[in-house]
Each structure stands twice: as C-alpha cells, then as structure tokens.
Amino acid sequence: MDYKIEKGSETQIDVTIPWIDAQVEFDKMIANAVKNVSVKGFRKGSVPHEIAETKIDKTKILSEVADKMLKDYYLEIIEKEKLKTIGAPRVSVIKLAQGNDIKIRINTAVIPEIELPKNWAKTIKKINIQNKNKKIEITDEDVQKELEHVAASRAQHNPVERAAKKGDHVKIDFTVKQDGVVIENGTSKDHSLILGKGVFIPGFEEKIIGMKKDEEKTFELEFPENYHASNLAGKKATFEVKLKTVEERISPKIDDAFATSLGKQFKTIDDLRKSLREGMKKEAIKKNDEERRTKYLDALASLIEIELPQMILDDEMQRMVGEFEQQLSMSGMKLDEYLKKIGKKREELEEEWKPQAKKRVISALVLEKLADNEEIDVDSKEIEEEMNKTLAMYKGVEDIEKNIDMRQLYDYTRGVMRNNKVFEMLEKL
C-alpha cells in the first residue's frame, strides 16, 4: 500500500492499492461467485469456468474488493498517522480497472483540539449544588392521577344512542375545505376521537359535542396562528362532519379487584399505589439525571469558541435527521410526509437545526477532552460484555456478519461507556 496525506481539520488521503495485492482478493471473490452461477443445462456449481465468468459482474466484484481492502488500509493509516478522526470518511474512486493499481481518495474530518477554561470545574460544581437542593417527591395526588390514567387506558366502550358529550369516544368522517376545495390530507373516514382531549384545532371538538349518531354538520373554524402547517396557519376553513358512532367510556373502579387484574403481585390497591409510586420516583430521578447531564454539556459548550469543519457539521446533521426519521417511523410517519404536513422543505428544517448540530458536536468534543484530561477509559472486557448484549438481539452468526461492523460497534460501545464514566466523574464534583 502507498498513500499521500495532506493533514488539516479536513484531512485528504490518496491511497494506491497495488493490483498484485488486490488480485488475490479479486480471484477469491470470482471463484466464490462462479460456484453460485446458474446456467440452464448445467447443475449449480458445475457450470464451466469460462461460461460462468461471462455471467459475473466483474466491475461490481472489483468495487467490493476495493471497499474491503480500503477498510483495513484506512484503519492502518489512521493508526500510523495517529489521526483522531470523527464521523464517516468520504470516499471517492479515482481509478478502478482490472489489472491496474486501484486509486482512491479519502476525505476525513479530524477532531479539532479544544481547550477547557481553568474554571470549568467551578461551573459543574454550581450545577451540582443546585441539583442537591432539588427535592424529588411523588405526592399522593401524582399517584392518584397516574392511577386514573391507567384505569382510563382500560376503559370499556359502550355504544349509546344519546348525543355525544365530553369524555365520549366517537368515530367521525370529515372533510376540510378552503374556498370549496378539499385541502391536502383533508379527508378522513372512521376517525377515532375522545372528546375533550383537545387533539383537534380549538373549537372542533366543541362542535361535535351535542351531535347524535348519523347526524351531519358543516361549520367554519380558523386554524391557530402557530399551526404547524404554515400554509393553513391563521386561515379559515370549512369542516363537513358526519358522526358515525358514540360510545360512552366507562373506566374500571379503582379498587382491590382492579389492582389484582393488573397482576398477581398486586393483592390490594395499596400494593398497586406503592408500585406506581416507586416506578414514578425512579422515572423522575432518571429524568432529573438526564436534565443535569444536559446542563453540564450546555454550560461547558458555552465556554468553548471554535470553528468546526463543515464536514463534521454535515455528518452531525445527517445523524440528527436519521434519529428524527426513526422517531417518526415509530408513529407510522415518514419524513417527507412530516415535511409536507408542516409545510417546510428539508433544507429549511436543517437550517433551523444548525445551532443544535454545532452544540452537539462541541458537547462530544468536551466529553472527549475531559476523558483524555482525566485519563478515563473503559476496560476491553467491559466493552465486550456490553457488545454481547447488543449481539444477543441478532438471530445467528450470518445475521451478525451481514448487519454489524464489529469494529464500529466496539468503538461506539466504548464511546458510550467512556462518556458515562465522564458524567459519573462530573456528578461527584
């Protein structure tokens, strides 16, 4: 392997992989591919080599060779040059042809050096003092509200013939129009709604209250000024509604029988109250710890002034978008649908997120710097034990090899565990 490197905040590495090295891997992949070629008139695995080779996409295999070898070479270069990289490298192929040396260009961001001010610990101590004085209490009223919420989630729905009232579960068909034209996504059939929850725009649910099954109503409402879809904000629309069903929601009585129905471990309602209180307390403590850690990072990041490479910011933005897409998918929505709903383009969303992306990058750099300064690290055995918990979610060896880059998983796991140790150190100040 031969390479040339131009170091900087965005480092460029030009790598040359000699064909004599690449050919060994290329021939191996070709041999494996030939075994799996199917040609009419021949049994699988017995197709003559010269015929099988004509059925193989050699360009694709050559790309796989370059990708496989580059991963090893890249790590070797990083270690040799002692580069502390961040984010995924950008790879572009300069030359890729059978029988020729492979030439590839890598652009990678290097972790910028930051300096923490001498008084950084004083900032953390101040946050810890404020947190120490903060009391976390779960009142009887809090427990009662949670009990009622649990009971409401198990409410029975009984059809009724009377007019709909607050608290009822109803199904409606509705259409929303502006100037006589149905707006985008402005039609819904058999839409479930609990009256009084306030999930529709102000005034909508109040118009449904008093309606009876099969009754139809047309009314006009104005979208709020701060409505998420900017094209509708502050504008009037006509709503055509048909009430399909009215069901009275009857929550179970909160007593010993209700407690027992939730699990054999609850013999009385007091057992359930105690369990809820303990769970709520743990959740409140966890939330408080997360908020404190966020305060640490916000406070320390505000002490750092640094120009970040655009490459790092772009990587962080893509990570943020990916995380947001995962959150949306849990509610059954795609990013494009969400953007259409709020009336924005992806570029506008990313522009709004730029300050947050910068703060996240600086926060990561702060944690890295603190870990280095305080000589905080994680034992490889601990990392492997944590990795095994992740790997346990996969079905078999083939599934793991297909979906997981073990080196990346190791680095990620080490990073998370190291950061936790840094936070634990800060909490003791």
In order along its 429 residues, the chain shows pLDDT tens digits of: 689 999 888 899 999 999 999 999 998 888 888 787 777 777 776 777 777 778 788 889 999 999 888 888 888 898 898 888 877 788 999 999 999 999 999 999 888 888 898 889 999 999 999 998 888 899 999 999 999 999 999 999 999 999 999 999 999 999 999 999 998 888 999 999 999 998 899 999 999 999 999 999 999 999 999 887 778 889 999 999 999 999 999 999 999 999 999 999 999 999 999 999 999 999 999 999 999 999 999 999 999 988 888 888 998 999 999 999 999 888 788 898 888 877 788 999 999 999 999 999 999 999 999 999 999 999 999 999 999 888 887 766 666 656 677 878 888 899 999 999 999 999 999
The per-residue pLDDT for 401 is 59
The per-residue pLDDT for 402 is 64
Domains of the chain: 2-110 (3.30.70.1050), 155-250 (3.10.50.40), 267-427 (1.10.3120)
Q: In this structure, what are the phi and psi dihedrals at residue 171, rounded to the nearest 5 degrees?
A: -120, 135
Beta strands in 60-208 (DSSP E): 85-95, 102-110, 156-159, 169-178, 181-194
The per-residue pLDDT for 202 is 93
The per-residue pLDDT for 397 is 61
The per-residue pLDDT for 233 is 86
The per-residue pLDDT for 19 is 94
Cβ neighbours, 10 Å, residue 243? 22
Closest CA to 150 of 10, 331, 276: 276
The per-residue pLDDT for 395 is 67
The per-residue pLDDT for 228 is 78
Question: Cα torsion for 251, 252, 255, 258, to the nearest 10°?
Answer: -130
The per-residue pLDDT for 231 is 80
Q: Rounded to whole angstroms, how far apart are CA atoms 82 and 18? A: 24
Residue at token pair 């790092």: 312
